[in-house]
A and B are shown apart, each in its own frame.
Chain A
């Protein structure tokens, strides 16, 4: 059973410019997907729709066969999908551990403060952040390390799907390789569905399935 389904998804900006037209696609668990396409084809927009940060003008996005437009968006984002942004979107005044714990708090995870800290440490270790760095403020970490913290945060409440928008866009090749490994590990060992919006050929070459948005997007050429 597919975890995510896009059914005739259409979206246009407030000024009327059409971005997505009649998109249909399916995403399964234990797989990594790369959403590709030239700039302006609506990749990030599609990811925003799938993460419940925005709503399609028409069509449906189904999560486990349920229309996400019927969900409480905040609840959906804090339980069902983990989002990794290109610019990380971590809170700079908090440490790596605190950022991860905050996400668990928002998700309402029933653990003691100490248990949450332990779990955060484990998650950070899994993505290559050691204990010393875990206690550092975000601004003291490198871009690659910040992105790992963002992935750990996305995993903190154990969602079925990770949506990542250009997660390696700001990283060097070495860090890109490591982030790809983390995602592979999450998809293949932890049965998560990883959906990555990317321009990177390296990322595209390492995913299980490429969803070329240009191919599926039925925008009229006259528009």
Chain B
């Protein structure tokens, strides 16, 4: 008890020194409080962003490998590039199911798409069907055109997409498409139900409940009757010089319904439909990406394909937050190092001033640990009060500082991105949609995480207490060394 009494007496006795120590610890506390709350909030935000934005993997063509393989094939077998491309094994649903059965995959879904004509629907287009093709308005995005061919197969007017899961219908999830009348089809059913765009419905006066007749473009004798169960609006940015939405000529149905048509088309080589299969694999986390890639290779994924993920996009979105977190962590370390050095220096001055006191206390029989305890209590009281003051000030400064820093980081990232686009001679809108004509050249724009709710939570408080303890120990370290090394006789003799 007397140790505490002495410690308190000494704090008031050596006011100026303790005020100096207090100011230093208040400054360290403010810096630590701001840095820690920004760091912890950033980590939480990154964690929550990652958990709400899953890691998606897609299998896409590996153009570099395709080129190489095509050249090799030409040299070795004298096959043309188009022949080689026709022979490249396309992904099918069996492959996707095989790849989807993986411990690294949380979920997966796929779409199949083909092109069909219709006997009772007209294509939504501003092109005059009677005009020769070279006078038609250019369609920059879909160079296949309306009645072209691909792989010796005739292409249809309508793109029909079959979905394996509602999760695969990203446009509806993101709000780009919205059902205005009726409802979505039964995703698991093989009944011929579909939803069509508002533009197509208006152009052909189709209502919910009407039937549309789709026709195999390779053989018009093969027809498929679909019931329109819903009509959707497309809110995506219009890509062409047209009055119709991008998806005006899309007909959406379930995988089972479209697969039924496709399977039947395979019965005859003349009716064989051209089918594109796309899949999306939702991975457990970013750590399994490489393992998943290796697994796909071992399961037979051709070198003509590669696995791409949205990791880079996610990382880019988090870049300002991560930069901010790194910056504040570095800042915190520097502040702590400088603070610790200053406190050690003050500790050394303190010991020089109080050497005699230590010698007297030890000579009258006060034990080493009690003398040390008294010094530590003094510093703990000063540190504790300073940390409380620093935390209060820090908590008031955290939100404005964090938002200002984050804003600056985002500005910096945007400036850097604008610079890149300027290098391509392009102006960069705030958000460039996929499929923009310039997208072939532009770096995709980024939706930065721009709000950081930096608050002081329990973790931050515990870390601040930890810093307080460390600072107290650092500043009392010189006392510890001095008191433990020197005998009272040595101390008193050195004074006289």
Contact = CB atoms under 8 A, between A and B. Distances in A.
Interface of A: 48, 53-54, 74-79, 83, 85, 87, 89-91, 93, 102-103, 105-107, 153
Contacts of B366: 74, 78, 106
A53 B362 CA distance: 9
Contacts of B416: none
Contacts of B363: 53, 77, 83, 85, 89
B489 A48 contact: yes
8 nearest A-B residue pairs (beta carbon): A78-B365, A105-B2, A77-B365, A53-B489, A74-B365, A106-B366, A74-B367, A89-B360
B13 interface: yes
Contacts of B357: 91
B365 A89 contact: no
Given A53-B487, A93-B13, A105-B2, A77 B492 contact: no
B365 A87 contact: no
A91 B488 contact: no
A17 to B, nearest CB: 15
Given A102-B2, A102-B6, A105-B2, A53 B488 contact: yes
A89 B360 CA distance: 6
A150 to B, nearest CB: 10
Contacts of B359: 89
Given A54-B487, A74-B366, A78-B366, A106 B361 contact: yes
Q: Taking each of B357, B359, B366, B487, which has the highest tally of chain A beta carbons within 10 Å of its own beta carbon?
A: B366
B269 to A, nearest CB: 104
28 contacts: A48-B489, A53-B363, A53-B487, A53-B489, A54-B487, A74-B366, A74-B368, A75-B365, A77-B364, A78-B364, A79-B365, A85-B492, A87-B496, A89-B359, A89-B360, A89-B363, A89-B492, A91-B357, A91-B360, A91-B361, A93-B13, A102-B2, A102-B364, A105-B2, A106-B361, A106-B366, A107-B365, A153-B364
Interface in B346-386: 357, 359-368
A166 B149 CA distance: 118
Contacts of A79: 365
Contacts of B362: 74
Given A53-B488, A85-B363, A91-B361, 5 more contacts: A53-B363, A77-B365, A78-B365, A83-B364, A91-B360
Interface in B474-496: 487-489, 492, 496
A107 B413 CA distance: 68
Contacts of A91: 357, 360-361
Contacts of A107: 365
A71 to B, nearest CB: 11
Nearest to B3: A105
Nearest to A76: B365
Nearest to A81: B365
B262 to A, nearest CB: 94
A153 B364 CA distance: 9
A87 B493 CA distance: 11
A145 B361 CA distance: 20
Given A89-B492, A91-B360, A106 B365 contact: yes
Contact of A54 (B2, B364, B367, B489): B489
Contacts of A76: 365
Interface of B: 2, 6, 13, 357, 359-368, 487-489, 492, 496
Contacts of A83: 363-364
Contacts of B492: 85, 89
Q: Taking each of A74, A75, A87, A102, which has the highest tally of chain B beta carbons within 10 Å of its own beta carbon?
A: A74
B320 to A, nearest CB: 55
A91 B365 CA distance: 14
Contacts of A93: 13
Contacts of A106: 2, 361, 364-366
A167 B6 CA distance: 27
Contacts of B6: 102
B362 to A, nearest CB: 8
Contacts of B488: 53
Contacts of B367: 74
Contact of A90 (B360, B365, B489): B360
A190 to B, nearest CB: 20
Contacts of A89: 359-360, 363, 492
B365 to A, nearest CB: 3
Contacts of B13: 93
Contacts of A85: 363, 492
A122 B31 CA distance: 54
Nearest to A94: B9
Nearest to A103: B364
Contacts of A105: 2
Contacts of B489: 48, 53-54
A217 to B, nearest CB: 20
A87 B360 CA distance: 11
B14 to A, nearest CB: 9
A84 to B, nearest CB: 11
B355 to A, nearest CB: 12
A51 B300 CA distance: 88
Nearest to B362: A74
A117 to B, nearest CB: 13
Contacts of B360: 89-91
A21 B362 CA distance: 28
A107 B367 CA distance: 10
Contacts of B365: 74-79, 106-107
A120 to B, nearest CB: 13
Nearest to B496: A87
Nearest to B365: A78
Nearest to B359: A89
Nearest to B369: A74
A93 B366 CA distance: 18
Q: Taking each of B2, B357, B364, which has the highest tally of chain A beta carbons within 10 Å of its own beta carbon?
A: B364
A91 B10 CA distance: 12
B2 to A, nearest CB: 4
B98 to A, nearest CB: 79
A79 B363 CA distance: 12
A75 B367 CA distance: 8
A78 B365 CA distance: 5
A54 B6 CA distance: 27
B377 to A, nearest CB: 15
